[in-house]
Amino acid sequence: MHAFAAWVLESIGLPADAYRGAPMRRRLTACLRALKVGSAAEAWSLVQNPESAAVAVDSLMIGVTEFFRDGEVFDALREIVTAKLTIQRGPIRVWSAGCSNGAELYSLAILLAESGLIDRSILVGTDCRVTAIREAQYGIYSESSIQSMDASLRQKYMRCTQGGWRVESSLRRRMQWRVGNVLSGIETGPWDIILWRNMAIYLNLKPATQVWNDFIKGLRPEGLLVVGKAERPPESAGLMNISRCIYQSPLLQATGR
């Protein structure tokens, strides 16, 4: 991995050796473009400035997302929420790990609200980037970010405001956002749903496997793990693929709970 990319990762507490070199080299090009420089040598001097350092972090760490991204996955989640979680007693606990600006967790919150479950839902989003967490807290999104949202849902849960579309306040109040990264440990479970999409593909095998195993331990029996379309949990995890990108933990787990 290039030394500059490694520095950017480690500046926010991420171990550079956990990441695959080839994808990070590709992201380095985007990072230099965002900094408007032609070489890493020029970038070094810029990132002494905190604002430029934040630009470097955001551009290197991808963070591409939108509401109801990959509609087939959210259609399946809607059916699962309706069939499974509506009959579940107690709180419904959802965690979006690497949540970026929060669009996907807000999307799931809307599904829960439509099913009458939002008032007993606990929704947590974490990301290693402070700027991403701030965006999620503000809940303001561009037109392009909500292009996949049904018009009726947009009218019900979004408000047109200066700077874009803002998530309705009653929904924003249900969310918990905090800085964190899964390579340092996971949020305390158990969880009914964990979203971890399009992140494992950037990790080396050993750290990725450790994160998968931690997630599995953190899921409730029959809990759901939602991943990216190019990602597969290890077969040893014992998860069942119940729909595209959606895996379910066994009914009985040897987790001590």
Collect contacts of 18-27 with beta carbons under 8 A, ≥24 apart: 18/183, 18/203, 18/204, 18/207, 19/202, 19/203, 19/204, 20/202, 20/203, 20/204, 23/201, 23/202, 24/60, 24/202, 25/1, 27/59, 27/60, 27/61, 27/62
Phi-psi region of 238 (alpha: psi -120 to 50; beta: other; left: phi over 0): left
Residue 167 in domain: yes
- In a domain? residue 40: yes
Residues 31 and 96 in one domain: no
pLDDT grade for 69, boundaries at 50, 70 and 90:
very high
Same domain, 116 and 217: yes
Q: How far apart are CA 167 and CA 140, in angstroms?
A: 7
Q: Is 257 a domain residue?
A: no
pTM, rounded to two decimals: 0.91
User: Of 86 and 208, which is predicted with more confidence?
Assistant: 208
Identify whether residues 155 and 90 lie together within a single domain: yes
Query: Angle at the Cα of 100 (from 121 to 63), degrees rounded to 5?
Result: 150
Are residues 235 and 173 both part of a single domain? yes
pLDDT in tens, 238-248: 899 999 999 99
* Residues 204 and 151 both lie in one domain: yes
Average pLDDT over residues 92-104: 95
pLDDT at 221 over 70: yes
| Closest CA relative to residue 53, chosen from 101, 102, 12, 100 | 12
Residue closest to 2 by CA, chosen among 34, 33, 38, 39: 39
Determine the Cα–Cα distance for residues 125 and 105; give it in Å rounded to an integer. 7
User: Rg of the Cα trace of the chain?
Assistant: 19
66 assigned to some structural domain? no
**Do 46 and 126 have their domain in common?**
no
Domain count, the chain: 2
Whether 213 maps to a domain, the answer reads yes
Least confident of 16-20, 48-52, 99-103: 48-52
Asked if residue 129 and residue 12 are part of one domain, the reply reads no
Q: In terms of domains, do 115 and 14 share one?
A: no
Would you say residue 22 has pLDDT above 70? yes
Structural tokens at position 148:
């996949």
What is the rounded average pLDDT of the residues 31-37?
A: 91
Stronger pLDDT, 213 or 253, i.e. the higher one:
213
Residues 43 and 82 in one domain: no
Pair 137, 224 in one domain = yes
Which residue range is the domain that position 11 belongs to?
3-60
Q: Are residues 32 and 98 in the same domain?
A: no
Query: Could you tell me the CATH number of the domain that includes residue 134?
Result: 3.40.50.150
With respect to residue 237, please indicate whether it lies within any of the assigned structural domains: yes
Q: What is the mean pLDDT of the chain?
A: 91
Let me know if residue 255 belongs to a domain.
Answer: no
Residues 79 and 186 reside in one and the same domain: yes
